Each structure stands twice: as C-alpha cells, then as structure tokens.
Amino acid sequence: MARLKVTVVGAGNVGGTAAQRLAEKNAYDVVLVDIAPGMPQGKALDMTQAGPVCGFDSRVIGTNSYDETAGSAVAIITSGIPRKPGMSRDELLATNAKIVTGVVRELVKRSPEIILVLVTNPLDAMTYVAHKVSGLPKQRVLGMAGVLDSARFRSFIAEALNVPATDVQAMVLGGHGDTMVPLLKHTTVKGRSITELLPKDKLTALVKRTQDGGAEIVNLLKTGSAFYAPSAAAVDMVEAILKDQKRVLPCAVKCDGEYGIDGLFVGVPAKLGRNGVEGIEQYELSPDEKTALAASAQAVKELCAAVDRLL
C-alpha cells in the first residue's frame, strides 16, 4: 500500500526537524523543499541514513523544485524569514506574506486536494494569506499555534507542580503571541483544575511566561528561534489529520461566527480528521476570557487588513 506523502516547505530548523519527526513515524513519504541548493538534499540524505539505526525506512526526498510534491496529502509550511531579537511578529508581515503566497501557489498547482498547515509567522495572518491565495475550502487551511502554546503552558505548569507534563491538559486560544488566551477553567492536572493547585499570582506569572515563550527562546539563542517544540506541534496536527483521529486541538482556523468571530483565522478548539478541520468545539468562556479573545481577534483583524493592503 502506497504511503501518504507529506511535504515540508523550508528546510531550516523547524522544517528540517519536522521532516525528521515525520520520517521517524515510519508511515509517510516525506518531501523536504527549500530554495537553498543542496541543503534539503543533504538533510534528506542524512535522515535516510538514520533509518537503519532508528528503525524506519521512510522515503525522504530533498529538492529545490516543487515537482516532487505532486500528490501530497498535507504540507507543513515553515518558509519565511525568522524573527530576530527585538523584532515583533508584525515586522515579519510583508516579507513572509510574499513568500507564503509563492509557496502556496506552487503546492496547490500540483496537489489540488492538499491540506495546508502553516507555521510561518505572523501565524494567524499567514494562514489567512494561504487561504486567500490557495482557493482551498477553509477546512483545508489551518495554522499551528495553540498546540505549541498549550505545550509551553503545560510544561511550565508541570515544572511548577513537579508533575509529569503528560498529566497536564490545557487549552490556549486566540492569536499566536502576546494576545493568546489560556483557558484556566479547562486547564487541569489529572482532572483537577489548575486554579485549585496554584495561587493566582503564580498562575498569572505562568500565563505571562507562556505569552512570551517564543521571545524567551529567541533571546536565549541569540541567533535563531524555537524549533523542537514547534516542529513537534506541527507533526502532532499532521498525525491527527492523516490518522483521522478526530482529536480536538487548538489551531488557527477560520471562524464564521464561532466565539463571536467572523471571517478571521484565530486559535480555537478544532476537531481534526482526514478532511482537515471537521468542526469547532464551543467551550464556555468566562467574561474575562471572552474579552481577551475578542481583543486577540481584533489584533489579528488588523494584521489581515495590513496583508490585504500588501497583496
């Protein structure tokens, strides 16, 4: 039986690591695309040679062309310029919108049934760009943000309580960045609400650290940004889709009235399956969370308006 093909566009840290994680699943053919001559080919060869040691025989192809992507079921798009220390996500807008536009056109031309998972920042606006340019139904365009943000929040809670991170469940909605909205009522440790386990000031500090999670890593690395957790989050979404898991994960998807948001790609709880986004779950929000989510959506709306002026 032929394996499903997954394309990763951008062979930098996030894309290269995502391709490696996909190869190690031993379930997909992986195509790694980048404009840098030799880089995707070299990384693909290196991954293939890890197969005998790690126990996988996935086919990994590195290429500077999009022709090898034909027939892809899903593409993870990581291409774009990275955020540098002191640079806001908004400053990335113009350059990355042009890059994503070109990438999406090349992919859809060769794989009309493809599902697109965006990782490029500013995430919510780039997902909007991909949808607008691709002509794909909204169910097949989504952005990776909430899975990463939730993972960061879970890891900080686990550290604070000295519990396994897998025991912590969390849901982070809204735009990716400073306006994300962690749902404390739906954040639990072995079924117990986080509000019972940590004092309010400590929780507030953890929320703030989650909101600044990407910047904290950028400032530590000095010459790059996070890639282990972002690649893991993107692959988690791909697995939920291709294995038809029907899992509810926080993703940037197009809302048409849900949570009072209309026509914008914002992080909400989305059910993922073989058709892409198969529904949006309606969680009960507190008045403060509703206000914060509305503010987050407004920030995304302003970015999308800026995109419309650029494209």
Choose one of 90, 117, 143: the last residue of a domain.
143
Domain total in the chain: 2
The pLDDT value recorded for residue 311 is: 73
157 and 135 within one domain = no
177 and 134 within one domain = no
The pLDDT value recorded for residue 95 is: 87
Helices (H), 222-286: 228-242
Residues 311, 306: Cα–Cα separation, whole Å: 9
SS3 content of the chain, % helix, strand, coil (to 5): 50, 20, 30
Q: Where do we find the tokens 């910047």?
A: 215
Q: Which domain holds residue 128?
A: 4-143
Burial of 53 (0-12, 13-18, 19+ CB in 10 A): exposed
222 and 110 within one domain = no
Q: Quote the DSSP letter at residue 136.
A: -
Whether 176 is a known active-site residue: answer yes
Is residue 17 within 8 Å of residue 47, measured between CB atoms?
A: no
Active-site hit among 43, 154, 176, 186: 176
250 and 185 within one domain = yes
Residues 96, 80: Cα–Cα separation, whole Å: 5
Choose one of 143, 175, 192: the last residue of a domain.
143
pLDDT tens-place values along the chain, 311 residues long = 689 999 999 999 999 999 999 999 999 999 999 999 999 999 999 999 999 999 999 999 999 999 999 999 999 999 998 766 676 666 778 889 999 999 999 999 999 999 999 999 889 999 999 999 999 999 999 999 999 999 999 999 999 999 999 999 999 999 877 788 999 989 999 999 999 999 999 999 999 999 999 999 999 999 888 999 999 999 999 999 999 999 999 999 999 999 999 999 999 999 999 999 999 999 999 999 999 999 999 989 998 998 888 77
Choose one of 80, 110, 143: the last residue of a domain.
143
32 and 137 within one domain = yes
The pLDDT value recorded for residue 134 is: 98
The pLDDT value recorded for residue 57 is: 96
188 and 94 within one domain = no
Largest CA distance in the chain: 55
CATH number of the domain where residue 53 is located: 3.40.50.720
158 and 305 within one domain = yes
Q: What angle do CA 259, 236, 307 make, to 5 degrees?
A: 50
Residues 259, 107: Cα–Cα separation, whole Å: 31
192 and 289 within one domain = yes
103 and 52 within one domain = yes
Q: Which of 128, 83, 96, 107 is nearest to 218 (CA)?
A: 83
The pLDDT value recorded for residue 59 is: 97
297 and 155 within one domain = yes
Distance of CA 289 to the CA centre of its chain: 22
Residues 72, 78: Cα–Cα separation, whole Å: 16
123 and 28 within one domain = yes
- The pTM of the full predicted model, rounded to 2 decimals, is 0.95
Residues 182, 186: Cα–Cα separation, whole Å: 9
Task: Take residue 80 and report the two structure tokens written for it.
Answer: 């774009």
CATH number of the domain where residue 220 is located: 3.90.110.10
The pLDDT value recorded for residue 25 is: 98
151 and 124 within one domain = no
Q: Pairing between strand 28-33 and 60-63?
A: parallel
Task: Take residue 87 and report the two structure tokens written for it.
Answer: 């640079």
